[in-house]
Amino acid sequence: MTYDFDRVIDRANTDSLKYDFARRRGKPEGILPLWVADMDFQAPPCVLDALAERSRHGIFGYSDTGEDYAAALRDWFWRRFRWRIEPDWIVKTPGVVTALHIAVRAFTAPGDGVIIQQPVYYPFSSAVQSTGRTLVISELVLRDGRYQIDFDDFEAKVAAGRVKLFILCSPHNPVGRVWTEEELTRLGEICLKHGVRVVSDEIHADFVFPGRRHRVFADVSPALRDITVTCTAPSKTFNLAGLQISNILIADSRLRAAFTRAYAAAGLSQVGVMGLVACRAAYTGGEPWLEALKVYLADNLALLRDTLARELPAVRLVEPEGTYLAWLDCRALGLTAAELDDRIVRRAGLWLDEGPMFGVGGEGFQRLNFACPRSVLAQALTRLKRI
């Protein structure tokens, strides 16, 4: 089966956060959005069919899942990552961000430290700060065009900051790293040594470019399995973010009990039925679509890389090893953060994510989502040259 990722689908007036709220969010009319991490592609046909069939049934009562759902997840994680999961590890939440907030409440007390590696997806810091915990930051280091972990800094911050929890982003948004087994092992050793539990946000795990391998943090060793909560979701992979379904996988029964207690205490219970239907369908039949999509995204990335190198060398691509997000180093332009934003928005007419949103180390950078039809990306690159 072939899939038409070139097709431009008008997303205006679909209640789309990416397309429909520019004015309300202070952006000019006509701006081209390549910001928030959803894709401009339809979900796989198997998902559309399953949702249509469920919709035709017409009754949308409270819902839960059975063995077929757990089997779809089990088979997916085994086939894709050689990770063996058990049905009772699965805790469903209406999104990974919800799960991050719940985990912070479940595993730390007000005043405890929670460590993150900035620049990183901005809700990590909100999940820590909005719950009255202390944010501890170990900054990633850009060396020879590739981000690295400063392990000494990480351990020193863990030891000094009464840190009880580490929120890992793997693969990493926005810097695009796919962490190696060795890096994950070293992080894990530090966490084990200092009694730090880990929330591993692996929502981007399905987007890893050729030559890289996503390694599930909890599967690196039995000791790490017992201190780790793994956040997964079909939402990035199959473009289902608006259906709000994620699967949090927790092997250790005490960790799982603490998590589900905090979940219930936040007033949460079942998730939406359409998310469940879509998730099961996607993990069961969506693999050929995903493989085709990854080829398309790699070609988009090549277009981005080549165009910048040839026509806009002052904007440097930090080569992503995974994700469909490009982290653009614009520091050579010599602009302040406000000037850079202004040029991107007003001069180029592009809506990207501003680097400083991702915390320390973000200044002078912009994040560009290249999961769109190639013609849209080409148009965005033409605009970008105006900065």
Ligand X SMILES: Cc1ncc(COP(=O)(O)O)c(C=O)c1O
The residues of the shown chain that bind ligand X, judged by CB under 6 A, are 37, 95-97, 121, 169, 173, 201, 203, 233, 235, 241, 246
Query: In the complex with ligand X, which residue's Cβ is closer, 172 or 256?
Result: 172
Report the DSSP pairing between strands 113-116 and 163-169: parallel
Tell the smallest beta-carbon distance from residue 165 to ligand X (Å): 16
Tell the smallest beta-carbon distance from residue 250 to ligand X (Å): 16
Tell the smallest beta-carbon distance from residue 199 to ligand X (Å): 10
* CA pair distance 184, 301, nearest whole angstrom: 26
- Specify which residues 200 forms β-bridges with: 168, 230
Residue nearest to ligand X (CB): 95
Nearest to 134 by CA among 106, 152, 114: 114
Tell the smallest beta-carbon distance from residue 245 to ligand X (Å): 8
Query: In the complex with ligand X, which residue's Cβ is closer, 235 or 300?
Result: 235
Contact (Cβ atoms closer than 8 angstroms) between residue 128 and residue 135 = yes
Query: In the complex with ligand X, which residue's Cβ is closer, 117 or 235?
Result: 235
Tell the smallest beta-carbon distance from residue 348 to ligand X (Å): 23
* CA pair distance 179, 120, nearest whole angstrom: 14
Query: In the complex with ligand X, which residue's Cβ is closer, 99 or 281?
Result: 99
Tell the smallest beta-carbon distance from residue 322 to ligand X (Å): 11
Contact (Cβ atoms closer than 8 angstroms) between residue 34 and residue 174 = no
Query: In the complex with ligand X, which residue's Cβ is closer, 96 or 326?
Result: 96
Tell the smallest beta-carbon distance from residue 157 to ligand X (Å): 21
Query: In the complex with ligand X, which residue's Cβ is closer, 113 or 275?
Result: 275
Tell the smallest beta-carbon distance from residue 57 to ligand X (Å): 26
Quick one: tokens of 14? 């679909």
* CA pair distance 70, 88, nearest whole angstrom: 9
Query: In the complex with ligand X, which residue's Cβ is closer, 286 or 349?
Result: 286
Tell the smallest beta-carbon distance from residue 356 to ligand X (Å): 17
Query: In the complex with ligand X, which residue's Cβ is closer, 108 or 323?
Result: 323
Query: In the complex with ligand X, which residue's Cβ is closer, 37 or 301?
Result: 37
Give the number of other CB atoms < 10 A from CB of residue 11.
Answer: 14
